[in-house]
Amino acid sequence: MRRFVSLWVLWVLLPVGAFALNGGLPAAPADVDRSTPAATATGFLDAAHARDAARAPHYLDLSRLPPETQAEEGLKLARRLVVVLDRTLWLDFARIGKEPAGPGERARREVLGQVATSRGPQDIVLERVDAAGGPVWVFSADTVGAIDALFEEHGSPVLEMLPPVFFTRPLWVLETWQWLGLALVLVGAWALGRLVEAVTLRVGARAAGLTKSGWDDELLAAGKGSIRFVLAGMLAAAGARLLKLPPPAQAAVDLGARSLIIVAAALFFLRFLSRAARFVEKKVAQSPEGTDVARVRGLRTQLAILRRVVEVAVVLVAASLLLLQFEAVRNVGVSLLASAGIAGLAIGLAAQKSLSTLLAGIQLSITQPMRIGDTVIIENEWGWVEEITLTYVVVKVWDLRRLVIPITQFLEKPFQNWSKVSPEILGTAELYVDFRTNVPAVRAELKRILEQESNGLWDGKVQGLQVTDLSERTMKLRALVSAADSGKAFDLRCLVREKLVAWLQAQPHGLPLLRAEATPLPLPEEKAVGPALLAARAGNG
């Protein structure tokens, strides 16, 4: 009888001690909420990140461990599991169940996700088990049994040696040790990028010195600065992976690295375009064809327009690559492409003016009604074409003002181009002289001025003096001279006027004179007394 009672008591007491959940742990604190899958996932992450030995083990099913080791091993397993979850599985709490139970068999089991391993994917499972106070949700025994293997692949033993202060989260989703490691990675990537760039440029410069082509020099010069950014971005992305950052943090680092590489590549292309254009201009100027001013100006204009077109294309491609990294922008782009009917027509009509302006710039580079450096008269202003873009032209006026004109105006309205065929130009200086002026002497003086006092302004090709008009009082002379360009022609005209006027002032019949004929008139007394009385008065006197 006693044996039967003993066996009955043992049978009653066994479920309480041996079959209770985590019997080797002290009672769960009151703030441990395991009523729903979402509550268990949230509570476990908070407790594990805080290295809370009193709470973290209670979220694990430790039934496969001896009760005497559950407290120590439970905290260790909780730390390892949170490291694995942070680096491989970012939980979407919107999809985790928020009900204690549900219909069907699957109500006792919920898969949070899968972690990739060398042996295949490992499910991370929450399971609803019976406990002393009722059913609770904990990480399943199978998941707990796989923690050590997962940690070997996705964790590091060094992390277990750090004090708890390094695992606090002062900002965002990164722990303190991750912020420190990320700072070291960024600084190291920048320093190593600069070092590799310096070595690359030095070796490249020596190699370029052995060649006669100048393109390699321009390529190296364009790469200065861009190479370090590309290398820094690549090294930062690679170094961040060693830190086993959480997926959102790793995605942010990758996004920043890709953006840096895209911007650096775009800057490299833009700088190379600029240097290549100057290199071609320099080569043409040094070639035998460099004496052809019109050809050089035409080439400069074509290079300027082509450079603008390529620059716009590079900027658009770079901006597109930057924006397409964001899911929202990709969705908008796909939506626009899918609804390219009326929306595309509206956009096309709205952009018609801009597109026509761009096409006008390309047309101007081909037809070349004017070129960079040409002397033009437009809007009653005289100046030089200083800059040509895809949308406007900058004319440098003689008094250093800048006239900005839409590029379409040069294709739709007439304007004067004084150097379309050649920069050489004729200039005139008009003088008004007296009718008695010795014209051959003036012509000889003009020749002397041009030959001896023109200070290099006269090109020696054209000189002449003609009587072009007569008026009642003066004779109009026109001095015709030539110069290499419009600027010299203007200065030469002013010089000729000044010298000829000074010479005419020294001549007796040079400058115009006002002529008048004087006729003597009788006095008033002579009209009153008559001639006889005047004669008598004269005899008496």
pLDDT at 81 over 60: yes
C-alpha 44/C-alpha 31 separation (Å) is 11
Comparing C-alpha atoms, which of 89, 96, 138 is closest to residue 115? 89
3-state secondary structure of 383: strand
What class is the 363-417 domain? mainly beta
507-529: burial string, b at 16+ Cβ within 10 Å, e else: beebebeeeeeeeeeeeeeeeee
Q: Which residue has the tokens 């397993």?
A: 77
- The DSSP 8-state label assigned to residue 67 in this structure reads G
| pLDDT tens, residue by residue, 6-55 | 444 443 444 444 446 878 888 888 888 888 888 888 888 888 877 788 88
Report the pLDDT value the prediction gives residue 482, as an integer from 0 to 100.
Answer: 92
Q: Does residue 530 register a pLDDT over 60?
A: no
- The answer to whether 36 and 99 are in contact (CB under 8 A) is yes
Point out the least confidently predicted range of 164-178, 213-227, 387-401: 164-178
On whether the CB atoms of residues 298 and 371 are closer than 8 A, the answer is yes
Cβ(449)–Cβ(382) below 8 Å:
no
Read off the DSSP letter of residue 60: B
β-pairing, 392-397 vs 416-417, is unpaired
Q: Which two tokens stand for residue 369?
A: 């009604």
Residue 264 has pLDDT above 80, yes or no: yes
Looking at the predicted structure, is the pLDDT value of residue 330 above 70?
no
Render pLDDT for 354-371 as a digit per residue (tens, 0 to 9).
Answer: 667 777 777 777 777 888
CA–CA separation, 483 and 499 (whole Å): 17
In angstroms, rounded to a whole number, what is the distance separating the alpha carbons of residues 415 and 422? Answer: 16
| Domain spans of the chain, in order of start | 18-167, 176-286, 363-417, 425-505
> Are the C-beta atoms of residues 39 and 55 closer than 8 Å to each other?
no
Query: How many angstroms separate the CA atoms of 116 and 416, rounded?
Result: 74
Three-class SS of 475-510: EEEEEEEEECCHHHHHHHHHHHHHHHHHHHHCCCCC
Structure tokens at 402: 């800048």
Provide mean pLDDT across the span 288-316: 73
The pLDDT of residue 469 is 92
Q: Which tokens hold the place of 410?
A: 């040069």
Percent of the chain surpassing pLDDT 90 = 11
Percentage, residues of the chain above pLDDT 70: 79
Strands 375-378 and 381-388: antiparallel
| Cβ proximity of 233 and 258 under 8 Å | yes
Alpha carbon 99 to chain centroid, angstroms: 51
Strand, helix or coil for residue 382: strand
Write out the two tokens for 280. 């071609």
Sheet with 475-483, strands from edge to edge, namely 425-433, 475-483, 458-470
Annotate 363-394 with b (16+ C-beta within 10 A) or e (fewer).
bbbeebebbbbbbbebeeebbbbeebebebbb
Taking all residues of the chain, what is their mean pLDDT, rounded to a whole number? 79
Q: What is the pLDDT of residue 288?
A: 63
> What pLDDT shows up at residue 15?
44
Sign of the C-alpha dihedral computed for residues 18, 23, 28 and 33 taken in this order: negative
pLDDT tens digit sequence for 129-185:
888 778 889 898 888 888 888 888 887 776 666 666 666 665 676 767 778 878 888
Tokens encoding 475: 């004779």
Dihedral angle computed from the Cα positions of residues 213, 216, 218 and 220, in that order, rounded to the nearest 10 degrees:
-160
Mean pLDDT of 240-261: 82
* Structure confidence by residue, pLDDT tens digits, 429-448: 999 999 889 999 999 999 99
Distances (CA, A) of 423 to 23, 462, 464: 101, 15, 20
340-354 pLDDT, tens digit each:
455 555 555 555 566
User: How far is the C-alpha of 502 from the C-alpha of 430, rounded, in Å?
Assistant: 14
Q: Which of 286-295, 377-386, 434-443, 526-535 comes out lowest in average pLDDT?
A: 526-535
Burial class (CB in 10 A: 0-12, 13-18, 19+), 21: buried
**Among 3.90.1720.10, 2.60.40.60, 3.40.50.300, 3.30.70.100, what is the CATH number of 425-505?**
3.30.70.100
CB hemisphere CA count around 256 (13 angstroms): 13
pLDDT tens digits, 87-137: 778 777 778 887 877 444 556 888 888 888 888 888 888 888 888 778 889
Q: How confident is the model at residue 497 (pLDDT cuts 50, 70, 90)?
A: very high
DSSP state, residue 162: S
